[in-house]
Amino acid sequence: MLEDRLLIWKLNRGNRQVLRHIYEKYKDRLVTLAAALLNNKTDAEDVVHDVFVSFINSAEKFRLTGSLNGYLATCVANNARNKNKAKYQQKNVPLDQAQTIASDSNSPDFQAIFGEQMCKLTWSLTELPYEQREVIMLHLYSRMKFKAIAKSQGVSINTIQGRYRYGITKLRTLLNSEVKK
Protein backbone atom coordinates (compact mmCIF):
# COMPACT_ATOMS: atom_id res chain seq x y z
CA MET A 1 0.00 0.00 0.00
CA LEU A 2 2.71 2.41 1.04
CA GLU A 3 4.77 1.41 -1.96
CA ASP A 4 1.83 1.95 -4.31
CA ARG A 5 1.08 5.37 -2.93
CA LEU A 6 4.68 6.32 -3.35
CA LEU A 7 4.65 5.05 -6.92
CA ILE A 8 1.55 7.05 -7.75
CA TRP A 9 3.02 10.07 -6.07
CA LYS A 10 6.07 9.82 -8.28
CA LEU A 11 3.90 9.24 -11.32
CA ASN A 12 1.81 12.33 -10.63
CA ARG A 13 5.03 14.30 -10.30
CA GLY A 14 6.06 13.35 -13.80
CA ASN A 15 8.29 10.36 -13.09
CA ARG A 16 7.14 8.04 -15.89
CA GLN A 17 9.80 5.44 -15.13
CA VAL A 18 7.57 4.16 -12.33
CA LEU A 19 5.19 2.87 -15.00
CA ARG A 20 7.69 0.07 -15.63
CA HIS A 21 7.77 -0.72 -11.94
CA ILE A 22 3.97 -0.81 -11.75
CA TYR A 23 3.77 -3.05 -14.80
CA GLU A 24 6.39 -5.45 -13.47
CA LYS A 25 4.67 -5.58 -10.11
CA TYR A 26 1.17 -6.36 -11.36
CA LYS A 27 1.54 -7.97 -14.80
CA ASP A 28 1.39 -11.62 -13.72
CA ARG A 29 -1.54 -11.13 -11.38
CA LEU A 30 -3.48 -9.25 -14.04
CA VAL A 31 -2.75 -11.79 -16.75
CA THR A 32 -3.89 -14.56 -14.42
CA LEU A 33 -7.06 -12.69 -13.56
CA ALA A 34 -7.85 -11.98 -17.21
CA ALA A 35 -7.07 -15.57 -18.22
CA ALA A 36 -9.40 -16.90 -15.56
CA LEU A 37 -12.14 -14.59 -16.81
CA LEU A 38 -11.64 -15.25 -20.51
CA ASN A 39 -10.39 -18.84 -20.51
CA ASN A 40 -7.75 -17.85 -22.97
CA LYS A 41 -4.25 -16.58 -22.37
CA THR A 42 -3.86 -14.74 -25.68
CA ASP A 43 -7.06 -12.78 -25.10
CA ALA A 44 -5.95 -12.22 -21.51
CA GLU A 45 -2.69 -10.67 -22.63
CA ASP A 46 -4.54 -8.47 -25.11
CA VAL A 47 -6.74 -7.21 -22.29
CA VAL A 48 -3.81 -6.54 -19.97
CA HIS A 49 -2.00 -4.77 -22.79
CA ASP A 50 -5.02 -2.53 -23.48
CA VAL A 51 -5.43 -1.77 -19.77
CA PHE A 52 -1.80 -0.76 -19.40
CA VAL A 53 -1.78 1.33 -22.56
CA SER A 54 -4.82 3.20 -21.31
CA PHE A 55 -3.26 3.54 -17.85
CA ILE A 56 0.01 4.80 -19.31
CA ASN A 57 -1.78 7.42 -21.39
CA SER A 58 -3.84 8.72 -18.50
CA ALA A 59 -1.04 8.39 -15.95
CA GLU A 60 -0.53 12.10 -15.54
CA LYS A 61 -4.08 12.71 -14.36
CA PHE A 62 -4.41 9.46 -12.44
CA ARG A 63 -5.48 9.85 -8.83
CA LEU A 64 -5.43 6.89 -6.50
CA THR A 65 -8.45 6.78 -4.20
CA GLY A 66 -8.34 3.13 -3.21
CA SER A 67 -5.76 0.45 -3.87
CA LEU A 68 -3.82 0.34 -7.11
CA ASN A 69 -4.31 -3.42 -7.24
CA GLY A 70 -8.09 -2.97 -7.01
CA TYR A 71 -8.07 -0.26 -9.63
CA LEU A 72 -6.11 -2.30 -12.15
CA ALA A 73 -8.11 -5.46 -11.44
CA THR A 74 -11.35 -3.53 -12.07
CA CYS A 75 -9.99 -2.22 -15.37
CA VAL A 76 -9.00 -5.73 -16.41
CA ALA A 77 -12.41 -7.11 -15.42
CA ASN A 78 -14.22 -4.38 -17.36
CA ASN A 79 -12.13 -4.96 -20.45
CA ALA A 80 -12.48 -8.72 -20.16
CA ARG A 81 -16.25 -8.36 -19.89
CA ASN A 82 -16.36 -6.28 -23.06
CA LYS A 83 -14.16 -8.74 -24.87
CA ASN A 84 -16.28 -11.60 -23.66
CA LYS A 85 -19.43 -9.95 -24.93
CA ALA A 86 -17.87 -9.30 -28.29
CA LYS A 87 -16.59 -12.80 -28.72
CA TYR A 88 -18.36 -16.08 -29.09
CA GLN A 89 -18.72 -17.43 -25.57
CA GLN A 90 -16.79 -20.61 -25.07
CA LYS A 91 -18.83 -22.58 -22.66
CA ASN A 92 -16.95 -25.83 -22.62
CA VAL A 93 -13.26 -25.30 -22.71
CA PRO A 94 -11.24 -28.42 -23.32
CA LEU A 95 -9.35 -29.52 -20.24
CA ASP A 96 -5.97 -29.03 -21.88
CA GLN A 97 -6.76 -25.38 -22.62
CA ALA A 98 -8.05 -24.72 -19.12
CA GLN A 99 -4.86 -26.23 -17.78
CA THR A 100 -2.82 -23.35 -19.12
CA ILE A 101 -3.91 -21.13 -16.25
CA ALA A 102 -2.50 -23.40 -13.62
CA SER A 103 0.50 -24.80 -15.35
CA ASP A 104 2.76 -21.79 -15.22
CA SER A 105 3.67 -22.11 -11.60
CA ASN A 106 7.41 -22.00 -11.04
CA SER A 107 7.80 -24.50 -8.26
CA PRO A 108 8.00 -28.17 -9.27
CA ASP A 109 6.81 -29.16 -5.79
CA PHE A 110 3.83 -26.94 -6.23
CA GLN A 111 2.95 -28.68 -9.47
CA ALA A 112 3.43 -32.09 -7.95
CA ILE A 113 1.21 -31.33 -4.99
CA PHE A 114 -1.32 -28.96 -6.48
CA GLY A 115 -1.13 -29.73 -10.18
CA GLU A 116 -4.20 -31.90 -10.35
CA GLN A 117 -6.21 -29.72 -8.03
CA MET A 118 -5.29 -26.59 -9.96
CA CYS A 119 -6.32 -28.15 -13.25
CA LYS A 120 -9.58 -29.12 -11.71
CA LEU A 121 -10.05 -25.63 -10.33
CA THR A 122 -9.39 -23.88 -13.63
CA TRP A 123 -11.73 -26.25 -15.41
CA SER A 124 -14.37 -25.64 -12.75
CA LEU A 125 -13.99 -21.88 -13.09
CA THR A 126 -14.74 -22.11 -16.80
CA GLU A 127 -17.98 -23.91 -15.97
CA LEU A 128 -19.28 -21.01 -13.89
CA PRO A 129 -21.47 -18.29 -15.40
CA TYR A 130 -19.25 -15.35 -16.29
CA GLU A 131 -20.67 -12.98 -13.67
CA GLN A 132 -20.11 -15.45 -10.83
CA ARG A 133 -16.59 -16.22 -12.01
CA GLU A 134 -15.84 -12.52 -12.16
CA VAL A 135 -16.94 -11.86 -8.57
CA ILE A 136 -15.06 -14.87 -7.24
CA MET A 137 -11.85 -13.87 -8.97
CA LEU A 138 -12.08 -10.21 -8.01
CA HIS A 139 -12.87 -11.04 -4.41
CA LEU A 140 -10.62 -14.01 -3.76
CA TYR A 141 -7.81 -13.47 -6.19
CA SER A 142 -7.63 -9.67 -6.44
CA ARG A 143 -8.70 -9.23 -2.81
CA MET A 144 -11.34 -6.63 -3.65
CA LYS A 145 -14.15 -5.96 -1.22
CA PHE A 146 -17.73 -6.75 -2.26
CA LYS A 147 -18.62 -3.09 -1.91
CA ALA A 148 -15.87 -2.04 -4.30
CA ILE A 149 -16.87 -4.70 -6.82
CA ALA A 150 -20.51 -3.62 -6.59
CA LYS A 151 -19.54 -0.01 -7.13
CA SER A 152 -17.36 -0.78 -10.12
CA GLN A 153 -20.13 -2.79 -11.78
CA GLY A 154 -22.98 -0.47 -10.83
CA VAL A 155 -25.01 -3.15 -9.08
CA SER A 156 -26.02 -3.62 -5.47
CA ILE A 157 -23.76 -5.26 -2.94
CA ASN A 158 -26.46 -7.90 -2.37
CA THR A 159 -26.33 -8.87 -6.03
CA ILE A 160 -22.56 -9.23 -5.84
CA GLN A 161 -22.72 -11.27 -2.63
CA GLY A 162 -25.44 -13.44 -4.17
CA ARG A 163 -23.31 -14.12 -7.26
CA TYR A 164 -20.39 -14.96 -5.01
CA ARG A 165 -22.42 -17.38 -2.88
CA TYR A 166 -23.91 -19.18 -5.88
CA GLY A 167 -20.52 -19.28 -7.56
CA ILE A 168 -18.73 -20.72 -4.55
CA THR A 169 -21.42 -23.35 -4.01
CA LYS A 170 -21.23 -24.41 -7.65
CA LEU A 171 -17.45 -24.36 -7.61
CA ARG A 172 -17.41 -26.56 -4.54
CA THR A 173 -19.78 -29.02 -6.20
CA LEU A 174 -17.70 -29.06 -9.37
CA LEU A 175 -14.49 -29.57 -7.45
CA ASN A 176 -15.97 -32.58 -5.75
CA SER A 177 -17.15 -34.12 -8.98
CA GLU A 178 -15.03 -35.89 -11.56
CA VAL A 179 -13.07 -33.83 -14.02
CA LYS A 180 -14.71 -33.82 -17.42
CA LYS A 181 -12.69 -35.67 -19.95
Partner 1 sequence: MKPAENINNLIKKLNLKASTELDQKVHNEISKILAESEKTKSAPSKLNTWRIIMTNKITKLAAAAVIIIAVVFGITVLDKSVTPAYAIEQTISAISSMRYVHTRYFDASHEDVTKECWIEMDDTGQLKNVRINWAEWITGEQIVVWNKDKTEMWNPKRNRLSVFNDKIYTARILQMANKANPRLYVERLHERQSKGEVKIEVEEPSNKSEPIVVTSTGLGENINRYVLFVDQATKLVTHLEWYQSEDDVYKYQGVTEFFDYNVPIDAKMFTLYDEIPTDAQIDDAKTHDIGLEQGDLTDKEMAVKVVQEFIESLIAKDYTRVGLICGGIPPGKVEKGWGRFNVVRLVSIGEPVPSSKVNKVYPKTVNVSCTFEFEKDGRIIQKLHYFYVGTVIGNRQNWTIYGEGRDTKSQEEFDRRTKKEEVKK
Query: Taking CB under 8 A as the rule, does residue 59 contact partner 1?
Result: yes
Exactly one of 37, 38, 48, 73 binds partner 1 (CB under 8 A); that residue is: 48
Is 28 or 82 the residue whose CB approaches partner 1 more closely? Answer: 28
> Segment near partner 1 (CB under 8 A), from 78-86, 88-96, 137-145?
137-145
Q: Is 170 in the site for partner 1 (CB under 8 A)?
A: no
118 makes contact with partner 1 (CB under 8 A): yes
Nearest-CA neighbor of 73 among 41, 25, 107? 25
Identified binder of partner 1 from the candidate list 37, 102, 135, 160, rule CB under 8 A: 102
At residue 50's C-alpha, the angle toward residues 47 and 51, to 5°, is 85
Residues 128 and 84 sit within 8 Å (Cβ to Cβ): no
Residue 52 in the binding site for partner 1 (CB under 8 A)? yes
Interface contacts to partner 1, rule CB under 8 A: 1-2, 5-6, 9-10, 13-17, 19-20, 23, 27-28, 30-32, 35-36, 41, 44-45, 48-49, 52-53, 56-57, 59, 65-67, 70, 100-102, 104-106, 110, 114, 117-118, 121-122, 136-137, 140-141, 144-145, 147-148, 151, 168, 171-172, 175-176
